[in-house]
Chains A and B, each alone.
Chain A
């Protein structure tokens, strides 16, 4: 099995040398296998978004290195190896829903016909088939978030970086989207790094759950989750509850500062 993401000795200090200096991440060593589903969980402000943005080459580390598919993170960004779902939906007001989903395809030079076929498929996937001609402002927050997920999935990136993508969704839509994400993950063999605040969500989706501790953000524990093929029944499986309990205990330990 090849490797998708390697972080070694990764440090990130914001505003170094100013009085607003924040040590966001310190000494992160993490290896994500190709095709793996890894979740990041931890208290607010512990550096989860920062870690994703380092992998995405949107910010530079102050120490250590990141490689993505054996390339520098920078090269991987230029090659558009990843798709990112940001914590805020970040849709463009001036583009209709379909045009928002098609934006990365447009930048990659897809033909108009291919683009609109794909955006239709994606809108079906996120259960918004009737909203392609709407503007983002005419959608609720959760609907906008689903459009932004559709946009990230539209070009089938080898790596998906998702920052609390389901945070704004109601429970049923959330479970539906989790199922869909797992289906896409299985079918395309993509690698996922997934930030969440939800323990059951992390347990249900992931092969491994990375528990971070805050200030500076460090990897506290990595919880392995082995539930085999996930189905809706998995949500009631004792194994699933056991995994959730292990994650919860790790988080408690983080909160207690041990």
Chain B
């Protein structure tokens, strides 16, 4: 299945209709702007404040992406390690599952105390912590939940553990990893912004939202939210692209097994 530009048409039409309905509702019912600004007012703010917003989007995006990369690398490496060394697996996996069930994002203020409130490090650490667990858990699951017949086949070729890892476990884990990626790509932006609500440099999306909201400039806050959504969507689209490119054999299929 090749990518068809035509596939973009329905969501685009739906998006335009949605914005149109929004605009008409706000105008028609005279909803006050501080409750829900019109898309046209948000757009004006977006144009007006573009240099600030672009900078903020870039900075927040940078934090999200760097946290994402570090979290993914750590999650994948530890998952491979956990698969190769059983004791690591037995110790780590239940712990990771338990931690993943807690609201890690609530640690943001504590991370500020640990990593400092002035730089980006604390916010990045929050993103890493949020990204790491789903990636680790899903990848580890994909690496271990291999059909026993496939392992027997490899053993019949006298293949060792590393060969089995390369030829069976890693390809088997790719769909699981892709699921995690689809989950954590937008999550990284959420984590970055929520972390920014709790402190850090003032030129980020999270701070732009809180300060504008604080001065009742809701249209400007919404403009910042729009920028954040664009960053999240871009990361999500990248995750989908990675998924397609890495698993050509699954192109004819819908989304596979879902975790989390």
A residues near B, CB below 8 A? 53, 56, 58, 77-80, 82-84, 86, 88, 90, 92-96, 103-104, 107, 135, 137-138
The answer, among B153, B159, B163, B247, for a CB contact under 8 Å with A90, is B153
Q: What is the chain B residue whose CB lies nearest that of A58?
A: B152
A107 touches B157 (CB 8 A): yes
Nearest chain A CB to B38 CB, angstrom units: 49
In the complex, the number of residue pairs spanning A and B with C-beta atoms less than 8 Å apart equals: 49
The answer, among B152, B167, B252, for a CB contact under 8 Å with A86, is B152
The answer, among B149, B167, B168, B250, for a CB contact under 8 Å with A88, is B149
SS of B interface (majority) = helix
A92 touches B150 (CB 8 A): yes
Q: Any chain A CB within 8 A of the CB of B156? A: yes
Q: What is the chain B residue whose CB lies nearest that of A83?
A: B156
A92-B150, A93-B249, A107-B163 given as contacts; is B171 within 8 A of A82 (CB)? no
A86 touches B153 (CB 8 A): yes
A22 to B250, CA, bound (A): 39
List 8 A-B pairs, Cβ < 8 Å. A53-B152, A58-B155, A77-B156, A88-B149, A90-B153, A92-B168, A94-B247, A137-B252
Q: Any chain A CB within 8 A of the CB of B1? A: no
A237 to B250, CA, bound (A): 49
- For B247, the chain A residues whose CB sits under 8 A away are 94
- For B167, the chain A residues whose CB sits under 8 A away are 92, 103
A80 touches B157 (CB 8 A): yes
The answer, among A78, A84, A93, A135, for a CB contact under 8 Å with B153, is A84
Nearest chain B CB to A54 CB, angstrom units: 12
A138 to B250, CA, bound (A): 11
Q: Any chain A CB within 8 A of the CB of B158? A: yes
Q: Which of B159-184 contact A (CB under 8 A)?
A: 159, 163, 167-168, 171, 174
Chain B: interface residue total (CB-CB under 8 A): 20
**Top 6 A-B pairs, shortest CB-CB distance:** A94-B171, A135-B249, A90-B149, A78-B158, A84-B156, A58-B152
A90-B150, A92-B150, A137-B252 given as contacts; is B156 within 8 A of A56 (CB)? yes
Nearest chain A CB to B249 CB, angstrom units: 4
A107 touches B159 (CB 8 A): yes
The answer, among A53, A88, A103, A135, for a CB contact under 8 Å with B157, is A103
- For B174, the chain A residues whose CB sits under 8 A away are 94
B152 touches A137 (CB 8 A): no
A79 to B158, CA, bound (A): 8
A78 to B157, CA, bound (A): 7
Q: What is the chain A residue whose CB lies nearest that of B149?
A: A90
B158 touches A77 (CB 8 A): yes
Nearest chain A CB to B137 CB, angstrom units: 22
- For A86, the chain B residues whose CB sits under 8 A away are 149, 152-153
- For B149, the chain A residues whose CB sits under 8 A away are 86, 88, 90
A58 touches B157 (CB 8 A): no
Tell me which of A78, A93, A95 has the highest count of chain B C-beta atoms within 10 A of its own C-beta. A93
- For A84, the chain B residues whose CB sits under 8 A away are 153, 156
- For A78, the chain B residues whose CB sits under 8 A away are 158
A94 to B256, CA, bound (A): 14
Chain B, residues 16-48, CB within 8 Å of chain A (1/0): the string is 000000000000000000000000000000000
A94 to B248, CA, bound (A): 8
Nearest chain B CB to A92 CB, angstrom units: 7
A92-B150, A94-B247, A103-B167 given as contacts; is B156 within 8 A of A82 (CB)? yes
Q: What is the chain B residue whose CB lies nearest that of A84?
A: B156
Nearest chain A CB to B154 CB, angstrom units: 8
- For B249, the chain A residues whose CB sits under 8 A away are 93-96, 135, 137
- For A96, the chain B residues whose CB sits under 8 A away are 249
- For A94, the chain B residues whose CB sits under 8 A away are 171, 174, 247, 249
Q: What is the chain B residue whose CB lies nearest that of A108?
A: B157
- For A92, the chain B residues whose CB sits under 8 A away are 150, 167-168, 171
Given contacts A80-B158, A90-B149, 12 further A-B contacts (CB under 8 A): A83-B156, A84-B153, A86-B152, A88-B149, A90-B147, A90-B150, A92-B150, A92-B171, A94-B174, A95-B249, A103-B157, A103-B167
A83 to B156, CA, bound (A): 7
B155 touches A77 (CB 8 A): yes
Nearest chain B CB to A145 CB, angstrom units: 13
- For A88, the chain B residues whose CB sits under 8 A away are 149
A53 to B148, CA, bound (A): 13
- For A83, the chain B residues whose CB sits under 8 A away are 156
- For B253, the chain A residues whose CB sits under 8 A away are 137
Nearest chain A CB to B177 CB, angstrom units: 13
